[in-house]
Amino acid sequence: MKRWVLFIYVLLCCCRVGAKQYLLEGTAGNDTLVMKLVVDGDIANSRFFYKSNVTDVEFNGSYNNGIVHLYAADSSASMILKQLPDRTWTGKLAKDKHQIISLKLHIVNINAVKHSFSYLSSVKSFKKNDQYEYLRSACFKLVNDTLFRYDSNYKIQTCHIKNTELNAIKIVADTVSKVVDKVNNILMDMLVQNAVYCKSCIAQDTNLSYGYSFDYTIKGNVLSAYVSLSLSCSGAMRMDYSDQTFNYDLNTGRPLVLDDVLYFKGVNGDNALQGNKIMSLLHRLYPDKMVNIDYCDYTDTLAWQNTDWRITEKGLLLMPYFVRADLPCWDPDWPVISFDLLKKYRNPNKKVHW
């Protein structure tokens, strides 16, 4: 008897229908809506955005007798959807008692979607692994701002994602350069990923807020770009912080590591030894700054191991790492090694010049 009970239990488990996911797009009043709908038994979950602002909204609810009922978590908004025999979906979106919008959605053919950034590695990954974000990033429009001469070799084209504060640059070489194209693709990839990161933050009303800054320096054959991003989703009490640095050799297109520009003989990839060397150098340059204050222990060698860095107009700016990222520690502006001093620490095996 026990064997029969076990057999029936296994049979039922094997026959259970798994979650179904639908990637939908269509009209929502005068706007266009893109939705990822997941139905698992009698549970339904959705994330969607309007193409006019591409910012995520989340509704959750139930599935019963072919009808999906979805509700916002922190408002009275709701949605009802029904799939028709032709695989299209119709329904209503009630933003409140007085504003009801008709919905007509269809399943998206991802291969038919036109995408201005389809050449970027992150977008290729979205298409393969997260088609909802692929559709979101397809809505981004790049706006070119100012074009100006940076130095004798390059022009700079500033640009931003339309209707956002997210900006970056493109390098315009005087002659065709595959290396510059490669670096520009990396910068655009960073821009699109950050735009997706911000816009995918769940925001039911106007709770989405973010701070963004982009800075760059070109010295000799080195491009150094820096992005600072702070983000709060759905009115969260605390902001999430992210610092990103991009350091590239414009002659080769390869990324640069700290050892390429600040070389200590005998370190040979030993992070602990490199941290000690950096700390010793900074003690000589900034004895008043190399202290333990406000949870920022600049005398701890761990802060200088695997340290991030970027080039500024003043020289090499080192960015210490702290496990607890208190604001006083965040991105100090004083650990700078001047270009004149860097000449003494030039890596003999690298062709980096200022």
DSSP run (H or E) holding 209? strand 209-219
pLDDT category, 232, cuts 50, 70, 90?
confident
pLDDT one-digit tens code per residue, 57-86:
999 999 998 899 999 987 789 999 999 999
pLDDT tens digits, one per residue of 156-200: 999 999 988 899 999 998 877 899 999 999 999 999 999 999 898
Superfamily holding 19-108: Calycin beta-barrel core domain (2.40.128.20)
Of the candidates 336, 331, 337, 271, the residue with the CA atom closest to the CA atom of residue 296: 331
Minimal CA–CA distance to 322: which of 289, 347, 297?
297
Whole-structure pTM value: 0.86
Domain(s) labelled CATH 2.40.128.20 in the chain stretch across 19-108
Q: What percent of the chain is modeled with pLDDT above 90? A: 66
**Pairing state of beta strands 167-173 and 57-64?**
unpaired
pLDDT in tens, 21-47: 999 999 999 999 999 999 999 999 999
CATH architecture for residues 112-249 = 2-Layer Sandwich (3.30)
Which residues of the chain are in CATH 3.30.565 domains?
A: 112-249
Q: How far apart are the C-alpha atoms of 352 and 263, rounded to whole Å? A: 12
Tokens 């004895």: give the residue. Answer: 287
Contact 36, 132 (CB under 8 A): yes
Contacts for 204 with CB less than 8 Å, ≥ 6 apart = 57, 58, 72, 73, 74, 75, 77, 234
For residue 110, CA distances in Å to 56, 114, 122 come to 19, 9, 16
